Structure 1
Amino acid sequence: MDTVNLAIVGATGAVGEVVVELLEKSTFPVDQLHLLASERTAGTSLLFRSKPLMVNLLESFDFTQVHMVVFVATDAVSLEYVPKAQKAGCLVIDNSQAYAGSLSDTVSSPPFNTPLNAPFVIPGVNSEVLSTDNKPSLVINPDSSVVSLWTVLKPIYDAVGIQRVNVCTYDSVSRLGKKATHELATQTASLLNAQGAEPKFYSQQVAFNVLPNVGELDENGHSDSELRLVEQSQKIIDDAQLQVNATCIQVPVFYADGMAVTIETGDAIDASAVREILEKNSEIKVLDENSEDGFATPVTSAAGKNTIFVSRIRNDMSHQRGINLWIVADNVRRGAALNTILIAEELKKSYL
């Protein structure tokens, strides 16, 4: 098959709009592109190949018109429409958490694929799970932090092994969608005008503040974001012995996340050798104290970029096999939208 008919569910959302933008710039061979959304935004249009493309109503769409469907919508939308797309014979890429492990284990017998056998994929990290011997009808795009984290850590894992990862994420509001970014903008403007900042989307003020949890907490005090990071890391690396500890913090930044990471390696390695490994990866840019622009930050380095940036690579003072590093990446663009395009390219190459 030379070209692909593709549908994007949730095309008018924060991630969906960037998927459309990156799709136009990519070499992915789209023939017909169908943009789908709810009644609220159906009837609007997005530019694709310099022409306005109408957004159609998801509810009435016939999935037999397309070969592949990208879901960048809510869990509820994916739960309802992913099975319909699969039944129509489509390959499906899902960006929600509807089929993503323990948080979806309560879903009763979804057809064709279950949460246990729908693979999480980061092309270049674990592309081998998309083998022609085990064609999946559903592929899950991991959490954006997981994509950035393991794009950086996998080359180190391959070189010397990693036994433990301790990560603290500093999450931008855009990972929770347009309502979250609107709330940060509204609260910021209100406070700068000496007015109050009543929280609506968040439980507390997010502007000029730091919130100690991202998502709901379980009975042990772990947030769903932290649990996803742990579980998806182990699945992607296919290493149940890998120890991962995560803390996810909400910061008042619009786009791009930061991660303070400490790893315990299997074999000893120093910071200079880690830097050499990472500098060989075209998807990563190392910015250290000698860089013209200084250390990497979410706003000045990563926002709006496809690259993952790494700074502050150094030996851990408390452990002889410990390495500390700082990672920043645009969660919407690199973690969600671009990884979706890369998965689509892998599926096209293997199965269409």
Structure 2
Amino acid sequence: MSKRLEIAVIGADSPVAEALFDLMAERRFPVAETSALVLDPESEADVRFADRPLLLDDARTFDFTQVQLAFLTDADPELTAQAERAADAGVVVVDASSQNWRDSAIPVVAADVNPAAIAGFNERGIVALPDRLNVALAPILRALHGLFGLQAVTLTGLLAASDGGRPALEDLARETAALLNARAYERQYFARQIAFNVLGQDGDAGVDGATERERRIGDELRMLLGLPTLAVQATLVQVPVFYGHSASITLRFERNVDVEAAAAALQALPDFALEASQLAADGISPVTDAALSSRVQAGRLRRVDGDPLALALWLTADNIRRCAASAALSNAELLVRDHLT
């Protein structure tokens, strides 16, 4: 990646942008100049890249002819509109917000699962990420499918508050403090109490009983893995955790499961860790193992009692750093390597 690019980060004051700036410095992404774009350039947000403060520009008036590549780091509709304006100006946009574009002309790419799909960026000038749970899960499913032939996925996903950006993080922090001090708090993001609570539905359900995001999980997994008949049952639960999605997963295959072979396949995955200990004290969690990590963490890999075709496991990953910023940067690295030089 010898070519150095002028880039823009749209939503530069978001949690995803903060992680993205850190990772660009760590991975020496070929940046010439960086523009930090926000909706309120007069805010006191401290945006830094490689330990240097960046001036904030108004995303709505920025001249995108100055840059070749842009990252969208927040799903705010106004920022999304500016990302589309950038693409119309000839800028290649890498979406790190993991929003559902519902546009077949925008390729959905996980660089470690379906990298060839990134070639479709030319049609709209935008490359999207899968849902953040799928970013963590799809490489695992691909590896195990190659061994045993995947037929069905059942998962319960535990969603961290940071998926909703700073308003959701503030709700969790401030409502927690308010309840501990017997005070009222008016939530900005969550419809119901999130502090000290679990919300068993991540959005309104349709006539099939599934929420939009639960349906998206299944649709994307079938697309990413090239398995159009894969059965997927997803239940998404909002939990009072700041960073780190988790999931309890049961998989069913065409052929009998060999747990040792499955463990070896997972341990061979890049940016992946498998905890083999059976001790409760060693069990992985989003707070102690996933937060601020660029690796997907898995554990409790085991057979399902009475079913030789089934396998169960637990996973957790930082939804902001690993499943958004790092995954988007991997897509950008693919673009630079194969298409932008």
TM category, shorter: over 0.9
The 1:318/1:198 distance shift into structure 2, 3 A limit, reads farther
Cα deviation, residue 199, structure 1 = 4.2
State the number of aligned residues.
339
Q: Which is worse superposed, 67-76 or 308-317?
A: 67-76
Partner of 1:63: 64
Instruction: Say yes or no: does 1:3 pair with 2:12.
Output: no
Instruction: Say yes or no: does 1:116 pair with 2:104.
Output: yes
Cα RMSD after superposing both structures: 2.2
TM-score by length of 1: 0.90
The 1:28/1:137 distance shift into structure 2, 3 A limit, reads same
> Which aligned pairs between 1:1-352 and structure 2 lie closer than 5 A?
2-39=3-40, 44-77=45-78, 79-96=80-97, 100-101=101-102, 115-131=103-119, 137-196=125-184, 199-289=187-277, 294-352=282-340
Cα deviation, residue 90, structure 1 = 1.2
Amino acid at match of 2:328: T
Distance 1:134 1:85 in 2: 13
Distance 1:18 1:325 in 2: 28
Distance 2:48 2:286 in 1: 27
The 1:199/1:79 distance shift into structure 2, 3 A limit, reads closer
Which ranges of structure 1 fall in alignment gaps of 5 or more residues? 102-114
CA contact (8 A) 1:132 1:350 kept: no
Q: Deviations over 1:184-234 (max 9, x none)?
A: 111211222244555442121111111011133223332222122112112
Counterpart secondary structure, 2:282? coil
Which ranges of structure 2 fall in alignment gaps of 5 or more residues? none
Distance 1:292 1:244 in 2: 29
Q: Deviations over 1:53-90 (max 9, x none)?
A: 11110011111111111111225235522332122211
Identity of aligned residues (%): 28
CA contact (8 A) 2:97 2:324 kept: no
Cα deviation, residue 291, structure 1 = 7.5
Counterpart secondary structure, 1:315? strand
Counterpart secondary structure, 2:54? strand
Amino acid at match of 1:231: D
The 1:97/1:116 distance shift into structure 2, 3 A limit, reads same
Amino acid at match of 1:15: V
Counterpart secondary structure, 1:310? strand
